[in-house]
Chain A
Amino acid sequence: MTGHEPGGWVGRPLPLKEGARLVAGRGRFLDDLAPGRLLHVAMLRSPHAHARILALDTSTAAALPGVAAVLTGADAAAASRPIRPLIPTAVPLDDYCLAVDRVRFVGEPVAAVAAVDRATAEDAVELIEVTWEPLPAALDAEAATRGEAPLLYPGLGSNVVWHDTLTYGDVDAAFAAADGVLEERFEIQRYASTPLETFGCIAEHDPGTDGYAFVTNDQRPGLTLAILAESLGVPQARLRLQCPDIGGGFGNKRRPAYLLVCALLARRAGRPVKFLEDRRENLTALMHAAGGVMHVALAYRADGTLLGLAVRDVTDEGKNLVSPAQHNLIKLGNIANGYRIPAIRYEAWSVLTNKCPSGANRGIGKPFMCFAMERAMTLLARRLGLDPAELRLRNYVSPEAMPYTTPTGSRYDSGDYPATLRAALARFGYDERRREQAVARAAGRLLGIGIATSVEPAGTNLASYEIITGRRAASGSAEAAMVRVEPDGQVRVALGDPPSGQGYETVVAQIVADELGLTPEEVSVTRGFDSSTTPWLYLSGNYSNKFAVTDTGAIVGAARRVRDKLLRLGAFRLEIAAGDLELRDGAVRVRGAADRGVTFRELARTAYADVLGLPPGEEPGLEARHAHQNPLARPIDAERRVPSQLVFANAAHCCLVEVDAATGGVRILKYVVVHDCGRELNPLIVEGMVHGSTAHGIGAALLEEFRYDAAGQLLTTTFMDYLKPTALDVPDIEVGTLEHPSPFTPLGAKGVGEGGAIPGPSAVANAVDDALAHLGVVVRALPITPDAVWRWLAGR
């Protein structure tokens, strides 16, 4: 797997090839596309957190000039099947693309209109008359664990989708033997990474073939195609899904329901339709990162050695019927963070509430798991009179123990966690910062230093869902790619993973250039995704940090098949053994005799046109496909251990903050990241990922919160009240790197996309806590807004 012959392009900090068009505004994003006869869709959304729909009258709306089609929940239920969940509930629930007789969160789509333009469609939506019967809303996830919440689905008998206690090792003995136990309760808010481009799609129905074509910025097309086929009752062969340039994803750019609404409207109208969320619709109804409450009990010896961990985790899913408990599973996979903890108990609660559905969002679950552990470790260090760095160093999984399997079944493949932290402390100037803090403290200023470290897995092993459902529907982590020498000798690559800012047109070209002896400029990577031409799997998509652990294998595998064929064709043509040939500068050349060779162009002409010139038995054409699955994925075992994710990178964050006691404001004075994502395929892209993900962590720590009032109304529906970090909020993040290649990925790379979104909130929280601890403040919840700081300082 690691026999990669370096051509020297992988590992170079090449600027983005696609950058040339994007800096000129020449990207092709969803809203830049407009097929002829296009109609525009607007949706009527629930104004209530929980209500019955007693009557719905669309007649006035349908009669408005310019309106072509109207779709209600009842129409959708008649014309389509429910959306198939990834993690089904114990009792099957019919979840259609529009609410049928009951709404369960503010912003839930109830009806949709297709009209000649968006303004007319919105006018028509306002003419739809609904009679509502408001119902009590379930907003407190913990209340549901006590059976005290109004039910979202009376047929389910509870709002609890999953409750289970998983025990690994002798937890009771660990706690009995401990010198002490630290117990804390932590909370995390709902937030989201909010791609700047909102979600949208164009749908078209072809009555001649009864097929549907979609263009969408959905980041997980493989799964979405399966849902569309089932819900529309159409064979997958009659569906086509294309992705153009995607303006950010971060996990939450996936709304199969909207594609279904548009498909049904397009069929009714006999014309293509486009829907694009406005920002209010986006903030109200995109998938939020789940909020929740976590109780942590950490059993330790007097010297700080961790003996056991018990976690009770209540996840506020909102109305998430697609992948409830996914946050729990991911947390379970990351529960030990980078530490040796021999005995672990995890009590999972996954609870439906009358809020926006939760779902994947940069790091899914891991930011909260990391926050709980890293806050607990920091508080334990304080209790024991140890430096927070020292306590961590005493408990890390050592580099000698790699590969190390955690009690819950995660396999930490490689890395040197102590070295990562030490490098971060050195770069941060830890001792100097402590002196700076002391001087400032003496002058009455509130400076605090925060350390947080994390592991960062890549690739989702869908077999982990079996812990909840008791059966295996999908498993592992895989991706597919195609490499093709075109008839003119030029090389093109297509990948089942549509990028949303990860620079694939550059880094994939670097990988293939090395395999085929070309330069990245000579390798074209097809933009986006097209189900009719791109190789893809159900597992295909841009999610879960998977590029490093699956996509690279697919690309390398396909490129090597093409390379082998080029060598065979070249050997036949040159009448020289393939072993004496190499690929260089767009030709198959004789080793040591650079003037003897045959160009890709000539070989392609033979392969596609002059096929009588092929070696006997050789298939015409010059392309290959390959799919790669990561070898670390395993099914659940008898002890219920399962790697929910694979291949672990790691990072250490150090930050220095100043808290303004008068305003409660927090300013970040210095921020250092040292991370190890294995071999860096393109260090420029990697550093950008670290910056961006850390900014997401800072936003989650200090600014961002989807706040609901007591009636379940979302109060943060614009960027004026849902605050994103600006260039004045994010500091000049300093990044250092270590490179411990993974033995379990083809190029030694590990995940890097979630990066700072995982430990970032913890590092900032630990710093604020450090600044305020002497005033009796303990940070137990996010976000750390000025209002929260002011209340903590006032003892409220």
Chain B
Amino acid sequence: METRVRMAVNGQAVDRVVDVRRSLSDFLREDLGLTGTHVGCEHGVCGACTVLVGGESARSCLLLAVQLEGAAVTTIEGLTPADGLSSLQEAFRECHGLQCGFCTPGMIVVAHELLARTAAPTPEEIREALAANLCMCTGYVSIVRAVARAANR
């Protein structure tokens, strides 16, 4: 069964007909070609697929595209400046807050949400926020450093 859905993705109006069982993550990746959003577990634990819906983090693997009618969705592509990188992204790179890079877009979305709410988070607040997402490579130490560095800018 298919239905029409209209939403804003990274500020652009999107008007599509989708299978009602299509997840938001598949919709973003396959229908819109926004492959920066990664899928790591498809059961809402790992956080790799995190996007912002109305400014709040959400697991795109647990949402159906049709639920987003009228919503504003922001992905890693929308958080990346047209030229270069955001200061948060720069901090991830400088602090070695990534290795394989698969969790990174989701981590940056979560960190972006944290910094939008809390200008100067403590290390504990950073860890609390990042604990929503799994990273298998870094042991989180350098990700925490990266978020702290970005907050200090």
A residues with a Cβ closer than 8 A to B are 15-16, 18-27, 29, 31-32, 34, 119, 193-198, 245-248, 250, 278-279, 500-503, 684-685, 687-688, 691-696, 718-720, 724, 726-728, 730, 732-733
Given contacts A278-B42, A501-B101, A727-B143, are A688 and B130 in contact (CB under 8 A)? no
Instruction: Determine whether the beta carbon of A692 is less than 8 Å from that of B139.
Output: yes
Given contacts A19-B92, A691-B141, are A25 and B80 in contact (CB under 8 A)? yes
Instruction: Indicate whether B24 reaches chain A with its CB closer than 8 angstroms.
Output: no
> Smallest CB–CB gap between A794 and chain B, Å?
30
Instruction: Determine whether the beta carbon of A694 is less than 8 Å from that of B134.
Output: no
For B85, list chain A residues within 8 Å (CB): 20, 23-24
Q: Secondary structure at chain A's binding surface: helix, strand, loop or mixed?
A: loop
Instruction: Determine whether the beta carbon of B142 is less than 8 Å from that of A196.
Output: no
Interface size on B, residues (CB 8 A): 55
Instruction: Determine whether the beta carbon of B94 is less than 8 Å from that of A15.
Output: yes
Of the 9-residue stretches B1-9, B65-73, B102-110, which lies at the interface with chain A? B102-110
A-B contact pairs, 17 of them (CB 8 A): A16-B96, A19-B96, A19-B98, A22-B104, A23-B92, A197-B100, A245-B100, A246-B100, A248-B99, A501-B137, A502-B99, A684-B96, A692-B137, A724-B134, A726-B130, A727-B143, A728-B128
Instruction: Indicate whether B116 reaches chain A with its CB closer than 8 angstroms.
Output: no
Instruction: State in angstroms the CA–CA spacing of A500 and B89 once bound together.
Output: 20
Q: What are the interface flags for B128-144 relative to A under an 8 Å C-beta threshold, 1 for contact and 0 otherwise?
A: 10110111111111111
For A694, list chain B residues within 8 Å (CB): 139
For B19, list chain A residues within 8 Å (CB): 119
For A726, list chain B residues within 8 Å (CB): 130-131, 133-134, 140
> Smallest CB–CB gap between B132 and chain A, Å?
8
**Chain A: CB-nearest residue to B141:** A691
**Chain A: CB-nearest residue to B108:** A23
**Chain A: CB-nearest residue to B93:** A19
Q: Secondary structure at chain B's binding surface: helix, strand, loop or mixed?
A: loop
> Smallest CB–CB gap between B80 and chain A, Å?
4
Instruction: Determine whether the beta carbon of B143 is less than 8 Å from that of A25.
Output: no
Instruction: Determine whether the beta carbon of A691 is less than 8 Å from that of B139.
Output: yes
**Chain B: CB-nearest residue to A34:** B30
> Smallest CB–CB gap between A690 and chain B, Å?
8
Q: Residue A247 contacts which of B38, B89, B94 (CB distance < 8 angstroms)?
A: B38
Given contacts A20-B85, A24-B80, A25-B75, are A719 and B102 in contact (CB under 8 A)? no
Instruction: Determine whether the beta carbon of B136 is less than 8 Å from that of A724.
Output: yes
For B45, list chain A residues within 8 Å (CB): 718-720
> Smallest CB–CB gap between B28 and chain A, Å?
11
For A685, list chain B residues within 8 Å (CB): 96
Instruction: Determine whether the beta carbon of B108 is less than 8 Å from that of A196.
Output: no
Given contacts A719-B46, A733-B141, are A727 and B75 in contact (CB under 8 A)? no
Given contacts A279-B40, A718-B45, A727-B130, are A196 and B140 in contact (CB under 8 A)? no
Instruction: Determine whether the beta carbon of A23 is less than 8 Å from that of B21.
Output: no
Instruction: Determine whether the beta carbon of A688 is less than 8 Å from that of B40.
Output: no
> Smallest CB–CB gap between A448 and chain B, Å?
21
Within 111-131 of B, Cβ neighbours of A (below 8 Å) are at 123, 126-128, 130-131
Instruction: Determine whether the beta carbon of B136 is less than 8 Å from that of A18.
Output: no
Within 31-58 of B, Cβ neighbours of A (below 8 Å) are at 35-43, 45-46, 48
Instruction: Determine whether the beta carbon of B134 is less than 8 Å from that of A16.
Output: no
For B40, list chain A residues within 8 Å (CB): 196-198, 279
Instruction: Determine whether the beta carbon of A15 is less than 8 Å from that of B96.
Output: yes
Instruction: Determine whether the beta carbon of B142 is less than 8 Å from that of A691.
Output: yes
Instruction: Determine whether the beta carbon of A719 is less than 8 Å from that of B41.
Output: yes
Q: Residue B99 contacts which of A26, A198, A692, A696 (CB distance < 8 angstroms)?
A: A692
For A732, list chain B residues within 8 Å (CB): 123, 141, 144
**Chain B: CB-nearest residue to A689:** B99
Instruction: Determine whether the beta carbon of B136 is less than 8 Å from that of A727.
Output: no
Instruction: Indicate whether B76 reaches chain A with its CB closer than 8 angstroms.
Output: yes
> Smallest CB–CB gap between B77 and chain A, Å?
6
Instruction: Determine whether the beta carbon of A727 is less than 8 Å from that of B131.
Output: yes
Given contacts A20-B93, A719-B45, are A501 and B100 in contact (CB under 8 A)? yes
Instruction: State in angstroms the CA–CA spacing of A728 and B141 once bound together.
Output: 11
Q: Residue B89 contacts which of A23, A194, A198 (CB distance < 8 angstroms)?
A: A23
Q: Residue B35 contacts which of A25, A194, A687, A719 (CB distance < 8 angstroms)?
A: A25
Given contacts A24-B36, A279-B41, A503-B99, are A730 and B141 in contact (CB under 8 A)? yes
For A247, list chain B residues within 8 Å (CB): 38, 100-102
Instruction: State in angstroms the CA–CA spacing of A503 and B96 once bound together.
Output: 10
Instruction: State in angstroms the CA–CA spacing of A733 and B145 once bound together.
Output: 12
> Smallest CB–CB gap between A761 and chain B, Å?
14
> Smallest CB–CB gap between B119 and chain A, Å?
20
For A692, list chain B residues within 8 Å (CB): 99, 136-139
Instruction: Determine whether the beta carbon of A197 is less than 8 Å from that of B102.
Output: yes
> Smallest CB–CB gap between A132 and chain B, Å?
27
Q: Residue B139 contacts which of A194, A501, A730 (CB distance < 8 angstroms)?
A: A730
**Chain A: CB-nearest residue to B23:** A119
Additional A-B contact list (17), CB under 8 Å, known A22-B98, A196-B136: A15-B95, A24-B80, A25-B104, A195-B136, A196-B135, A247-B100, A247-B101, A278-B42, A279-B43, A501-B101, A691-B141, A718-B45, A719-B134, A726-B130, A726-B131, A727-B126, A732-B123
Instruction: State in angstroms the CA–CA spacing of A727 and B43 once bound together.
Output: 19
Considering residues A21, A23, A694, which has the most beta carbons from chain B within 10 angstroms of its beta carbon? Answer: A23
Q: Residue B136 contacts which of A25, A250, A728 (CB distance < 8 angstroms)?
A: A250
Instruction: Determine whether the beta carbon of B43 is less than 8 Å from that of A25.
Output: no
For B30, list chain A residues within 8 Å (CB): 34
Instruction: Determine whether the beta carbon of A196 is less than 8 Å from that of B134.
Output: yes
Instruction: Determine whether the beta carbon of A718 is less than 8 Å from that of B141.
Output: no
Instruction: Determine whether the beta carbon of A691 is less than 8 Å from that of B104.
Output: no
Instruction: State in angstroms the CA–CA spacing of A279 and B39 once bound together.
Output: 10
Instruction: State in angstroms the CA–CA spacing of A728 and B134 once bound together.
Output: 11
Instruction: State in angstroms the CA–CA spacing of A502 and B101 once bound together.
Output: 10
Q: Residue A248 contacts which of B75, B100, B131, B143 (CB distance < 8 angstroms)?
A: B100
For B90, list chain A residues within 8 Å (CB): 23
Instruction: State in angstroms the CA–CA spacing of A278 and B90 once bound together.
Output: 31
Instruction: Determine whether the beta carbon of B108 is less than 8 Å from that of A195.
Output: no
Instruction: Determine whether the beta carbon of B35 is less than 8 Å from that of A248.
Output: no
Instruction: Determine whether the beta carbon of A24 is less than 8 Å from that of B89.
Output: yes
Instruction: Determine whether the beta carbon of B137 is less than 8 Å from that of A248.
Output: yes
**Chain A: CB-nearest residue to B146:** A23
Instruction: State in angstroms the CA–CA spacing of A687 and B142 once bound together.
Output: 9
Instruction: State in angstroms the CA–CA spacing of A196 and B40 once bound together.
Output: 6
> Smallest CB–CB gap between B33 and chain A, Å?
9
